[in-house]
């Protein structure tokens, strides 16, 4: 197993990108990553493309070969990786394995979703495919509904309040305000969130990540070749992934994601670090309650203690642990397949010291945490500056 480094990152603006199709978004992010790595496309040996439901959203499957084609890599092997909302993180992990194993030297990992070509009902149905369609979606429960069940149980067991959940959205919009690639540049108050339209009690629309278009890409090479491409390579020091039942009803607990716990333990073990060593984290806040679960399941807080800490500002920018500096899924937007790759882009910028107005001082170790569905897949990566 070789050490692996990120030497190039690229991203599009996230949001309602009416003027751009899937191909243009992929090309924009991919070419930006290649330029960042000062690399010609012919050096690329393999492409991993993370995307969740392009068949449902725009009628296009076979997206990895299309991505290779868009990058001018007509004959380079490519595979699409799909694990619902964890498609991007899962693609990053497969790309990492390909380089770590020595099979490939230069790998591009892209993530993309073009979601705004369908109406809200179609989008909700497409996203419902991340859960158990037979036991959940076809019975009428949508994703906000599943996370609302989780939120209700968390409130009952630990006294978590709607205002504490709202604080997650407020913080993430504050961070997104400083990120030019983010979908939203609008600061929120707790009252804004509390007064927003109810989607699935207790989750209001401002507790929910949006429907978005966007793409992100990273270039991976062996660490010992990284300086050829970039003066500030970012090393992947841990990678973990785990699964769980798709259906919530089959889980032991509604208030933890076991897949997140196992993935994090494996990543920490590989990196030889603990939760307290992490300085910055991009975690999967598809709904405000999801960030609370994540902070607990990743080991940053004991179960039942994260909501209060977030509301007290412990995870704000340049606090004890800066969480979702990109704006997270809530503020930066959530083009599903792009999200897990975007997390790696943000951590790379932070560890390089290139995050501009939202730079975390002295960040040394970063984490990316990407969840599929209501927790049936979780992927955790840990990163550190290589020098």
Contact between 62 and a second copy per CB under 8 A: yes
| Contact pick of 113, 132, 162, 346 for a second copy (by CB under 8 A) | 132
Separation of CA 26 from chain center: 17
CA 68, 49, 273, 307 dihedral sign is positive
Pair 328, 183: CB distance under 8 Å: no
107 strand-pairing partners: 46, 220
Residues labelled as active-site residues: 85, 334
The whole-angstrom separation of Cα 253 and Cα 273 is 27
Judged by beta carbon, residue 311 or residue 371, the one nearer a second copy is 371
Please list every residue from 270 through 299 that binds a second copy, using CB under 8 A. Answer: none
In this structure, the number of other CB atoms found within 10 A of the CB of residue 269 comes to 12
Please list every residue from 90 through 129 that binds a second copy, using CB under 8 A. Answer: 90, 93-94, 97-98, 100-103, 125-126, 128-129
- The two tokens of residue 17 are 């990108």
| Contact pick of 5, 6, 29, 73 for a second copy (by CB under 8 A) | 73
323 strand-pairing partners: 281
Judged by beta carbon, residue 36 or residue 113, the one nearer a second copy is 113
Contact between 130 and a second copy per CB under 8 A: yes
Listed ranges 155-163, 256-264, 341-349, 361-369: which one lies at the site for a second copy (CB under 8 A): 256-264
Contact between 165 and a second copy per CB under 8 A: no
Contact between 33 and a second copy per CB under 8 A: no
Pair 321, 280: CB distance under 8 Å: yes
Kindly state the smallest distance separating residue 37's Cβ from a second copy, in Å. 21
Contact between 25 and a second copy per CB under 8 A: no
Listed ranges 7-15, 49-57, 106-114, 209-217: which one lies at the site for a second copy (CB under 8 A): 49-57
Could you give the strand order of the β-sheet that contains 280-282, starting from the edge strand earlier in sequence? 46-50, 107-114, 213-222, 4-11, 234-243, 377-385, 365-372, 280-282, 322-323
| Contact pick of 6, 7, 9, 84 for a second copy (by CB under 8 A) | 84
Listed ranges 56-64, 226-234, 345-353, 362-370: which one lies at the site for a second copy (CB under 8 A): 56-64
Kindly state the smallest distance separating residue 132's Cβ from a second copy, in Å. 7
In this structure, the number of other CB atoms found within 10 A of the CB of residue 262 comes to 18
Could you give the 3-state DSSP secondary structure of residue 258? Answer: helix
Contact between 216 and a second copy per CB under 8 A: no
Helix axis angle, 63-70 to 22-36, nearest 10°: 60
Kindly state the smallest distance separating residue 52's Cβ from a second copy, in Å. 6
In this structure, the number of other CB atoms found within 10 A of the CB of residue 42 comes to 10
42 DSSP 8-state letter: G
CA–CA–CA angle 157, 154, 297 (5° rounding):
110
Judged by beta carbon, residue 171 or residue 261, the one nearer a second copy is 261
Positions that interact with a second copy (CB under 8 A): 1, 21, 23, 47, 52-56, 58-66, 68-69, 73-84, 90, 93-94, 97-98, 100-103, 125-126, 128-134, 137-138, 241-246, 250, 258-259, 262-263, 372-373, 376-377
């Amino acid at each position: 197993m070789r050490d692996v480094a990120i030497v190039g990152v690229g991203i599009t603006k996230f949001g309602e990108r009416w003027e751009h199709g899937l191909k243009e978004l992929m090309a924009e992010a991919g070419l930006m990553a290649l330029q960042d790595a000062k690399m010609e496309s012919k050096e690329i040996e393999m492409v991993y493309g993370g995307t969740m439901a392009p068949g449902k959203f725009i009628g296009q499957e076979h997206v990895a070969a299309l991505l290779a084609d868009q990058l001018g890599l007509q004959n380079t092997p490519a595979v699409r990786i799909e694990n619902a909302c964890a498609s991007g993180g899962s693609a990053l992990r497969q790309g990492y394995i390909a380089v770590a194993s020595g099979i490939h030297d230069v790998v591009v990992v892209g993530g993309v979703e073009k979601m705004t070509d369908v109406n809200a009902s179609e989008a909700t149905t497409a996203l419902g495919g991340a859960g158990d369609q037979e036991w959940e979606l076809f019975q009428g429960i949508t994703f906000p509904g599943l996370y609302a069940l989780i939120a209700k149980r968390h409130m009952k067991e630990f006294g978590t309040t709607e205002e504490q959940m709202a604080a997650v959205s407020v913080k993430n919009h504050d961070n997104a305000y400083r990120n030019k690639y983010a979908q939203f540049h609008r600061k929120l108050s707790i009252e804004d969130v509390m007064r927003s339209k109810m989607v699935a009690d207790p989750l209001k629309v401002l507790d929910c990540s949006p429907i978005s278009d966007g793409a992100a890409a990273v270039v991976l090479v062996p660490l010992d070749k990284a300086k050829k491409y970039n003066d500030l390579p970012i090393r992947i020091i841990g990678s973990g992934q785990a699964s769980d039942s798709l259906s919530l009803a089959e889980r032991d607990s509604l208030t933890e994601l076991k897949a997140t716990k196992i993935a994090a333990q494996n990543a920490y073990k590989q990196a030889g670090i603990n939760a307290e060593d992490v300085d910055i984290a991009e975690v999967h806040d598809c709904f405000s309650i999801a960030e609370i679960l994540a902070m607990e399941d990743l080991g940053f807080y004991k179960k039942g203690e994260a909501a209060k800490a977030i509301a007290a500002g412990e995870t704000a920018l340049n606090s004890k642990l800066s969480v979702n500096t990109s704006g997270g899924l809530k503020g930066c937007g959530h083009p599903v397949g792009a999200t897990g790759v975007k997390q790696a882009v943000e951590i790379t910028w932070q560890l390089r010291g290139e995050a501009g107005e939202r730079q975390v001082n002295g960040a040394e170790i970063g984490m990316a945490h990407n969840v599929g569905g209501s927790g049936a897949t979780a992927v955790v990566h840990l990163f550190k500056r290589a020098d």
